[in-house]
Amino acid sequence: MYKFFLRPFLFLFAPESIHHFAFSALKVFGKIPGVNSVIRSFFEIKDHRLSKTLMGIMFPNPVGLAAGFDKDAKRIDELAAFGFGFIEIGTLTPKAQPGNDKPRLFRLPKDKALINRMGFNNGGVQDAVLRLKNRKSKIIVGGNIGKNKVTPNESAFEDYNTCFETLYPYVDYFVLNVSSPNTPGLRELQEREPLRKLLSDVIALSKAKPEYKPVLLKIAPDLNNEQLNDVVSILKETKTDGVIATNTTISREGLDTSTETISTIGLGGLSGKPLTQRSTEVISFLRQALGKDFPIIGVGGIMTEQDALDKLKAGADLVQIYTGFIYEGPGLVSRINKALLQQM
Protein backbone atom coordinates (compact mmCIF):
# COMPACT_ATOMS: atom_id res chain seq x y z
CA MET A 1 0.00 0.00 0.00
CA TYR A 2 2.72 2.48 0.97
CA LYS A 3 4.85 1.97 -2.15
CA PHE A 4 1.93 2.00 -4.59
CA PHE A 5 -0.29 4.72 -3.14
CA LEU A 6 1.27 6.85 -0.41
CA ARG A 7 4.87 7.07 -1.64
CA PRO A 8 3.99 8.36 -5.14
CA PHE A 9 1.97 11.14 -3.51
CA LEU A 10 4.69 12.02 -1.00
CA PHE A 11 7.34 12.06 -3.72
CA LEU A 12 5.43 14.80 -5.57
CA PHE A 13 6.76 17.25 -3.00
CA ALA A 14 10.23 18.46 -2.03
CA PRO A 15 11.87 15.95 0.34
CA GLU A 16 12.46 18.29 3.26
CA SER A 17 9.00 19.87 2.97
CA ILE A 18 7.25 16.50 3.00
CA HIS A 19 9.38 15.40 5.96
CA HIS A 20 8.07 18.34 7.98
CA PHE A 21 4.53 17.67 6.75
CA ALA A 22 4.78 14.02 7.82
CA PHE A 23 6.03 15.05 11.26
CA SER A 24 3.11 17.47 11.61
CA ALA A 25 0.70 14.72 10.60
CA LEU A 26 2.22 12.33 13.14
CA LYS A 27 1.75 15.00 15.81
CA VAL A 28 -1.91 15.53 14.92
CA PHE A 29 -2.82 11.85 14.68
CA GLY A 30 -0.70 10.99 17.71
CA LYS A 31 -2.90 13.21 19.88
CA ILE A 32 -6.01 11.22 18.97
CA PRO A 33 -6.64 8.69 21.74
CA GLY A 34 -5.88 5.14 20.65
CA VAL A 35 -4.19 5.97 17.33
CA ASN A 36 -0.69 5.00 18.44
CA SER A 37 -2.07 1.76 19.83
CA VAL A 38 -3.72 0.97 16.50
CA ILE A 39 -0.51 1.72 14.62
CA ARG A 40 1.41 -0.47 17.05
CA SER A 41 -1.00 -3.35 16.47
CA PHE A 42 -0.16 -3.26 12.76
CA PHE A 43 3.61 -2.89 12.96
CA GLU A 44 4.99 -4.05 16.31
CA ILE A 45 6.31 -7.60 16.53
CA LYS A 46 6.55 -8.76 20.13
CA ASP A 47 8.62 -11.91 20.58
CA HIS A 48 11.23 -12.52 23.25
CA ARG A 49 13.42 -14.27 20.66
CA LEU A 50 14.05 -10.92 18.98
CA SER A 51 15.43 -9.32 22.14
CA LYS A 52 19.15 -8.82 22.58
CA THR A 53 21.21 -7.47 25.45
CA LEU A 54 24.08 -5.35 24.21
CA MET A 55 26.30 -2.95 26.17
CA GLY A 56 24.16 -3.72 29.20
CA ILE A 57 20.99 -2.57 27.44
CA MET A 58 18.12 -4.91 26.59
CA PHE A 59 16.86 -4.14 23.08
CA PRO A 60 13.38 -5.63 22.47
CA ASN A 61 14.24 -6.16 18.81
CA PRO A 62 17.33 -5.38 16.71
CA VAL A 63 15.82 -2.84 14.28
CA GLY A 64 16.40 0.81 15.09
CA LEU A 65 15.73 4.17 13.49
CA ALA A 66 19.00 5.84 12.51
CA ALA A 67 20.01 9.33 13.55
CA GLY A 68 18.93 12.16 11.29
CA PHE A 69 15.29 11.21 10.91
CA ASP A 70 14.13 12.68 14.22
CA LYS A 71 16.99 15.04 14.93
CA ASP A 72 15.26 17.04 17.64
CA ALA A 73 13.37 14.25 19.43
CA LYS A 74 10.07 15.65 18.22
CA ARG A 75 8.21 12.42 17.42
CA ILE A 76 9.72 9.66 19.56
CA ASP A 77 6.37 8.47 20.90
CA GLU A 78 4.75 8.37 17.47
CA LEU A 79 7.72 6.70 15.75
CA ALA A 80 8.02 4.13 18.52
CA ALA A 81 4.57 2.85 17.52
CA PHE A 82 6.01 1.57 14.21
CA GLY A 83 7.77 -1.23 16.06
CA PHE A 84 11.35 0.00 16.31
CA GLY A 85 13.55 -1.57 18.95
CA PHE A 86 15.34 1.72 19.53
CA ILE A 87 15.52 5.26 18.15
CA GLU A 88 18.59 7.42 17.76
CA ILE A 89 18.06 11.17 17.90
CA GLY A 90 20.39 13.87 16.58
CA THR A 91 22.86 14.79 15.50
CA LEU A 92 22.49 17.40 18.25
CA THR A 93 24.86 20.29 18.88
CA PRO A 94 25.22 22.58 21.92
CA LYS A 95 23.68 25.57 20.16
CA ALA A 96 20.86 25.64 17.65
CA GLN A 97 22.05 26.03 14.08
CA PRO A 98 20.16 26.30 10.78
CA GLY A 99 22.39 23.94 8.83
CA ASN A 100 23.33 24.44 5.21
CA ASP A 101 21.36 26.44 2.66
CA LYS A 102 18.32 24.87 1.00
CA PRO A 103 17.76 22.85 -1.07
CA ARG A 104 19.89 20.34 0.83
CA LEU A 105 17.98 17.06 0.56
CA PHE A 106 17.50 15.26 -2.75
CA ARG A 107 15.90 12.01 -3.91
CA LEU A 108 17.48 9.70 -6.46
CA PRO A 109 14.50 7.41 -7.22
CA LYS A 110 16.33 5.44 -9.92
CA ASP A 111 18.89 4.44 -7.30
CA LYS A 112 16.56 4.26 -4.28
CA ALA A 113 18.85 6.78 -2.65
CA LEU A 114 19.07 10.19 -1.04
CA ILE A 115 21.73 12.86 -1.09
CA ASN A 116 21.77 15.23 1.85
CA ARG A 117 23.94 18.10 2.96
CA MET A 118 21.79 19.11 5.91
CA GLY A 119 24.74 20.28 8.01
CA PHE A 120 23.62 19.30 11.52
CA ASN A 121 20.53 21.51 11.43
CA ASN A 122 18.91 21.22 14.85
CA GLY A 123 17.32 23.26 17.60
CA GLY A 124 20.15 22.67 20.06
CA VAL A 125 20.54 20.06 22.76
CA GLN A 126 18.55 21.97 25.40
CA ASP A 127 15.55 22.15 23.08
CA ALA A 128 15.64 18.37 22.58
CA VAL A 129 15.88 17.76 26.32
CA LEU A 130 12.62 19.63 26.90
CA ARG A 131 10.88 17.07 24.67
CA LEU A 132 12.72 14.08 26.09
CA LYS A 133 11.52 15.04 29.56
CA ASN A 134 7.91 14.77 28.41
CA ARG A 135 8.02 11.64 26.25
CA LYS A 136 5.67 8.81 27.19
CA SER A 137 7.27 5.93 25.33
CA LYS A 138 9.83 3.78 27.13
CA ILE A 139 11.68 2.98 23.91
CA ILE A 140 15.47 2.93 24.08
CA VAL A 141 16.89 6.25 22.88
CA GLY A 142 20.42 6.95 21.71
CA GLY A 143 21.88 10.44 21.63
CA ASN A 144 23.95 11.23 18.54
CA ILE A 145 26.09 14.27 19.30
CA GLY A 146 28.37 16.55 17.31
CA LYS A 147 29.98 19.96 17.28
CA ASN A 148 28.66 23.27 16.04
CA LYS A 149 29.87 24.37 12.62
CA VAL A 150 31.59 27.44 14.06
CA THR A 151 33.51 25.44 16.67
CA PRO A 152 37.10 24.76 15.60
CA ASN A 153 38.24 21.15 15.75
CA GLU A 154 40.73 21.90 18.52
CA SER A 155 37.76 22.92 20.71
CA ALA A 156 35.48 20.08 19.60
CA PHE A 157 35.55 18.30 22.97
CA GLU A 158 33.87 21.27 24.62
CA ASP A 159 30.86 20.81 22.33
CA TYR A 160 30.71 17.04 22.83
CA ASN A 161 31.08 17.61 26.58
CA THR A 162 28.15 20.06 26.63
CA CYS A 163 25.94 17.67 24.69
CA PHE A 164 26.92 14.71 26.86
CA GLU A 165 26.25 16.47 30.16
CA THR A 166 22.94 17.90 28.96
CA LEU A 167 21.62 14.67 27.46
CA TYR A 168 22.98 12.25 30.05
CA PRO A 169 19.81 11.85 32.18
CA TYR A 170 17.57 11.32 29.15
CA VAL A 171 19.26 8.87 26.76
CA ASP A 172 20.47 5.29 27.06
CA TYR A 173 23.66 5.53 25.02
CA PHE A 174 25.75 8.09 23.16
CA VAL A 175 27.11 8.21 19.62
CA LEU A 176 29.96 10.50 18.63
CA ASN A 177 29.39 11.67 15.08
CA VAL A 178 32.73 12.56 13.50
CA SER A 179 31.89 11.15 10.08
CA SER A 180 29.26 13.43 8.55
CA PRO A 181 30.53 14.86 5.25
CA ASN A 182 28.37 17.97 5.61
CA THR A 183 30.20 19.88 8.34
CA PRO A 184 33.49 21.35 7.07
CA GLY A 185 36.51 19.68 8.65
CA LEU A 186 34.48 17.28 10.83
CA ARG A 187 35.92 14.13 9.25
CA GLU A 188 39.38 15.31 10.28
CA LEU A 189 38.36 14.20 13.78
CA GLN A 190 38.52 10.61 12.44
CA GLU A 191 42.28 10.94 12.20
CA ARG A 192 44.19 8.88 14.73
CA GLU A 193 45.22 11.32 17.46
CA PRO A 194 42.14 13.61 17.48
CA LEU A 195 39.87 10.56 17.52
CA ARG A 196 41.76 8.82 20.30
CA LYS A 197 41.65 11.92 22.49
CA LEU A 198 37.97 12.68 21.81
CA LEU A 199 36.84 9.14 22.59
CA SER A 200 38.99 8.93 25.72
CA ASP A 201 37.70 12.24 27.04
CA VAL A 202 34.00 11.46 26.45
CA ILE A 203 34.32 7.97 27.90
CA ALA A 204 35.93 9.55 30.97
CA LEU A 205 32.83 11.72 31.35
CA SER A 206 30.62 8.64 31.40
CA LYS A 207 32.89 6.82 33.86
CA ALA A 208 32.58 9.75 36.24
CA LYS A 209 28.82 9.37 36.41
CA PRO A 210 26.95 7.22 38.99
CA GLU A 211 25.66 5.09 36.09
CA TYR A 212 27.94 4.46 33.13
CA LYS A 213 26.28 4.95 29.75
CA PRO A 214 27.82 3.40 26.63
CA VAL A 215 29.74 5.56 24.17
CA LEU A 216 29.81 4.52 20.50
CA LEU A 217 31.58 5.89 17.44
CA LYS A 218 29.90 6.36 14.06
CA ILE A 219 32.30 5.98 11.14
CA ALA A 220 32.27 6.75 7.42
CA PRO A 221 32.12 4.11 4.68
CA ASP A 222 34.85 5.93 2.76
CA LEU A 223 37.70 4.82 5.03
CA ASN A 224 40.22 2.49 3.41
CA ASN A 225 41.55 -0.63 5.16
CA GLU A 226 44.51 1.19 6.66
CA GLN A 227 42.24 3.85 8.09
CA LEU A 228 39.82 1.22 9.36
CA ASN A 229 42.71 -0.54 11.09
CA ASP A 230 43.56 2.75 12.80
CA VAL A 231 39.93 3.04 13.96
CA VAL A 232 40.00 -0.54 15.25
CA SER A 233 43.21 0.14 17.18
CA ILE A 234 41.72 3.27 18.75
CA LEU A 235 38.44 1.54 19.64
CA LYS A 236 40.41 -1.13 21.48
CA GLU A 237 42.82 1.31 23.14
CA THR A 238 40.08 3.61 24.42
CA LYS A 239 37.74 0.73 25.33
CA THR A 240 34.96 2.35 23.32
CA ASP A 241 31.70 0.49 23.84
CA GLY A 242 30.66 0.02 20.22
CA VAL A 243 30.78 1.24 16.65
CA ILE A 244 28.09 2.23 14.15
CA ALA A 245 28.95 1.38 10.56
CA THR A 246 28.32 3.38 8.48
CA ASN A 247 27.40 6.99 7.85
CA THR A 248 26.66 8.33 4.35
CA THR A 249 29.24 8.20 1.56
CA ILE A 250 30.74 10.92 -0.62
CA SER A 251 31.17 8.39 -3.44
CA ARG A 252 29.00 8.63 -6.55
CA GLU A 253 30.13 5.40 -8.20
CA GLY A 254 27.70 3.08 -9.98
CA LEU A 255 24.64 5.34 -9.92
CA ASP A 256 21.82 5.03 -12.47
CA THR A 257 20.89 8.69 -12.02
CA SER A 258 22.39 10.81 -14.80
CA THR A 259 25.75 12.47 -14.20
CA GLU A 260 24.12 15.77 -15.14
CA THR A 261 21.59 15.43 -12.32
CA ILE A 262 24.29 14.39 -9.85
CA SER A 263 26.43 17.34 -10.89
CA THR A 264 23.50 19.72 -10.47
CA ILE A 265 22.80 18.40 -6.96
CA GLY A 266 26.42 18.84 -5.94
CA LEU A 267 27.96 17.95 -2.60
CA GLY A 268 26.38 15.83 0.10
CA GLY A 269 26.27 12.40 1.70
CA LEU A 270 24.73 9.58 -0.33
CA SER A 271 22.52 7.03 1.45
CA GLY A 272 20.30 4.17 0.37
CA LYS A 273 20.76 1.23 -1.94
CA PRO A 274 24.13 2.33 -3.44
CA LEU A 275 25.60 2.10 0.06
CA THR A 276 24.30 -1.41 0.81
CA GLN A 277 27.33 -3.41 -0.26
CA ARG A 278 30.03 -1.07 1.05
CA SER A 279 28.52 -0.70 4.51
CA THR A 280 28.22 -4.49 4.77
CA GLU A 281 31.86 -4.85 3.74
CA VAL A 282 32.90 -2.43 6.49
CA ILE A 283 30.85 -4.36 9.05
CA SER A 284 32.52 -7.61 8.00
CA PHE A 285 35.98 -6.01 8.23
CA LEU A 286 35.24 -4.63 11.69
CA ARG A 287 33.87 -7.91 12.98
CA GLN A 288 36.97 -9.79 11.91
CA ALA A 289 39.26 -7.13 13.35
CA LEU A 290 37.40 -6.50 16.62
CA GLY A 291 36.44 -10.06 17.51
CA LYS A 292 33.10 -11.72 18.09
CA ASP A 293 32.02 -9.79 21.20
CA PHE A 294 32.54 -6.14 20.21
CA PRO A 295 29.16 -4.36 19.70
CA ILE A 296 28.51 -3.32 16.09
CA ILE A 297 25.39 -1.54 14.82
CA GLY A 298 24.99 -1.87 11.07
CA VAL A 299 23.41 0.87 8.99
CA GLY A 300 23.57 1.91 5.36
CA GLY A 301 21.40 0.80 2.47
CA ILE A 302 18.99 -1.51 4.28
CA MET A 303 16.14 -1.51 1.77
CA THR A 304 14.87 -5.09 2.21
CA GLU A 305 14.69 -7.82 4.82
CA GLN A 306 17.60 -9.56 3.12
CA ASP A 307 19.77 -6.46 3.40
CA ALA A 308 19.26 -6.50 7.16
CA LEU A 309 19.94 -10.24 7.38
CA ASP A 310 23.13 -9.78 5.35
CA LYS A 311 24.40 -7.14 7.76
CA LEU A 312 23.61 -9.30 10.76
CA LYS A 313 25.35 -12.24 9.10
CA ALA A 314 28.37 -10.02 8.35
CA GLY A 315 28.69 -9.29 12.05
CA ALA A 316 26.24 -6.57 13.08
CA ASP A 317 24.47 -7.07 16.41
CA LEU A 318 21.75 -4.53 15.64
CA VAL A 319 20.71 -2.64 12.52
CA GLN A 320 19.29 0.79 11.77
CA ILE A 321 17.23 2.08 8.86
CA TYR A 322 16.63 5.54 7.44
CA THR A 323 16.45 5.77 3.64
CA GLY A 324 14.76 2.35 3.50
CA PHE A 325 12.07 3.71 5.83
CA ILE A 326 11.38 6.45 3.28
CA TYR A 327 11.41 4.27 0.15
CA GLU A 328 9.89 1.08 1.56
CA GLY A 329 7.64 2.49 4.26
CA PRO A 330 7.15 1.65 7.95
CA GLY A 331 6.31 -1.96 7.15
CA LEU A 332 10.01 -2.61 6.60
CA VAL A 333 10.55 -2.76 10.37
CA SER A 334 8.10 -5.61 10.92
CA ARG A 335 9.22 -7.42 7.76
CA ILE A 336 12.80 -7.51 9.02
CA ASN A 337 11.70 -8.81 12.41
CA LYS A 338 9.47 -11.45 10.83
CA ALA A 339 12.34 -12.56 8.59
CA LEU A 340 14.55 -12.93 11.64
CA LEU A 341 11.96 -15.06 13.40
CA GLN A 342 11.64 -17.30 10.35
CA GLN A 343 15.35 -18.04 10.57
CA MET A 344 15.18 -19.06 14.22
- The pLDDT tens digits of the residues spanning 28-55 come to 999 999 999 999 999 999 999 999 999 9
Q: If pLDDT is split at 50, 70 and 90, which confidence band does 187 have? A: confident
Q: Is residue 114 part of a domain?
A: no
Q: Is residue 72 included in any domain, yes or no?
A: yes
Residue 186 is predicted with a pLDDT of 84
Average pLDDT over residues 191-200: 92
Task: Tell me whether residue 227 is in a domain.
Answer: yes
Structural domain includes residue 84: yes
Say which amino acid occupies 245. Answer: A
pLDDT tens per residue, range 274-323: 999 999 999 999 999 999 999 999 999 999 999 999 999 999 999 999 99
- Does residue 209 fall inside a structural domain? yes
Q: Is residue 110 part of a domain?
A: no
Q: Across all residues in the chain, what is the average pLDDT?
A: 97
Number of domains the chain contains: 1
Is 279 catalytic? The answer is no
Give the per-residue pLDDT at 233: 97
Alpha helices in the chain, H assignment, sequence order: 7-10, 15-30, 35-43, 76-80, 125-134, 156-167, 192-207, 225-238, 259-265, 276-290, 305-314, 323-328, 331-342
The one-letter amino acid at 132: L
Q: pLDDT tens digits, residue range 207-231? A: 999 999 999 999 999 999 999 999 9
- 332 within domain boundaries: yes
Q: Residue 182 pLDDT > 90, yes or no? A: no
Query: Phi and psi for 180 in degrees, rounded to 5?
Result: -65, 135
Cβ–Cβ < 8 Å for 159, 137: no
- Give the residue among 90, 91, 83, 69 at the shortest CA–CA distance from 19: 69
Catalytic residue among 17, 37, 180, 271: 180
pLDDT value for 220: 94
Q: How many CA atoms lie within 13 A of 176 on its CB side?
A: 34
Q: Does any domain span residue 261?
A: no
Domain CATH for 291: 3.20.20.70
The residue range of the domain holding 16 is: 2-99+120-252+273-342
pLDDT at 234 over 90: yes
Contact 157, 128 (CB under 8 A): no
Q: Where does the pLDDT of residue 189 fall: very low under 50, low under 70, confident under 90, or very high at 90 and above?
A: confident
